[in-house]
Structure 1
Amino acid sequence: MKHASMIKPLFTALALVAWTQYAFAATDLLPPMQHQGDVTFLSGGIGLSESTAIKDAMHHYPLTLEFAGKGPGGSVYLANIQVEISDMHGHAVLKTIAAGPFLLASLPDGRYRVTALYGGKSESRDVRISPAAHVHELFLWSM
């Protein structure tokens, strides 16, 4: 019976080690964090491992943007999307080019207009960032 009492702590320790290695591996697969003013963001999602790492990190960011195109053959993820996020006074707080189909951003609480441009076509969304909400916006262009 003495050995049985040692099994539970051993499995707990092994599970903790496995989880820690997974967490560090997922962080290594994320694109680099970037900063503009008060905004912290990352963009990417090219390839399965980076896309999976970004999807796992989404819940840490109040704003998630996703970019896709829809054509006769179905939907595809898009990259190199011009993105501008402005406060409700029209002042740009973020101007960037999304390096992949996802852009995750931490913004101060407030209301913003998000504008994304692909293939000469612009789409905008008004979003509200608050501590109690996670905003996910899909930008889908016809191709």
Structure 2
Amino acid sequence: MFIRNITLAFTLACGALGSATAAGQAQFMTGGVGMEERGKMLASKEDYNVHMTFATRGSGVYRSDVQVEIADNKGRVYLNANDAGPLMYANLEPGRYRVTASAADGQVLRRDMVVLPGHTKELYFYWSEPATIVE
């Protein structure tokens, strides 16, 4: 209980979202907008076994408007976060998962991943540039 509260307090202090480690939920942190916040995220990176980065293809502009859902192969949701990014770190038990990442403009990307004991999983999500209207 004490460690979970420290983790949650640290996560909130970083300007990131956090999730309690209740049964069926993954512990996570998200953020990285600005150099200071990015530094705090990177300092905590090794505490998590899944690392995700959200950006726009071509320009490389980071995205911080992402809805993320991580579910196992039976559809049980372990993580659900709004306005995630541009970095997101999570701790998941070993197993198979599907990550669904939805950008604010409606583009949805999915990745299947296997989390192995003692290993880190890196995932990169790149969305197309949003359509622009030329008049």
TM class by smaller structure:
0.7 to 0.9
Gaps of 5+ in 1: 1-25
Distance 1:32 1:92 in 2: 17
Alignment partner for residue 26 of structure 2, among 24, 30, 39? 39
SS in 2 for 1:116: strand
User: What is the identity, as a one-letter code, of the residue corresponding to 2:60?
Assistant: S
Distance 2:69 2:88 in 1: 11
Name the structure with the higher strand share. 1
Cα displacement (A) at 1:85: 0.4
Across the two proteins, how many residue pairs are aligned to each other?
116
CA-atom RMSD in angstroms = 2.0
- Superposed CA deviations along residues 41-74 of structure 1, whole A, max 9, x for unmatched, are 1111111011122122212101011100124xx2
TM-score w.r.t. structure 1 length? 0.72
Counterparts of residues 106-121 of structure 1 (less than 5 Å): 106-118=91-103, 119-121=105-107
Question: Which protein is bigger by CA-based radius of gyration?
Answer: 1
What corresponds to 1:125 in structure 2?
A: 111
% identical equivalent positions: 34
Alignment partner for residue 102 of structure 1, among 80, 84, 87? 87
Distance 1:89 1:49 in 2: 39
Gaps of 5+ in 2: 1-9, 130-135
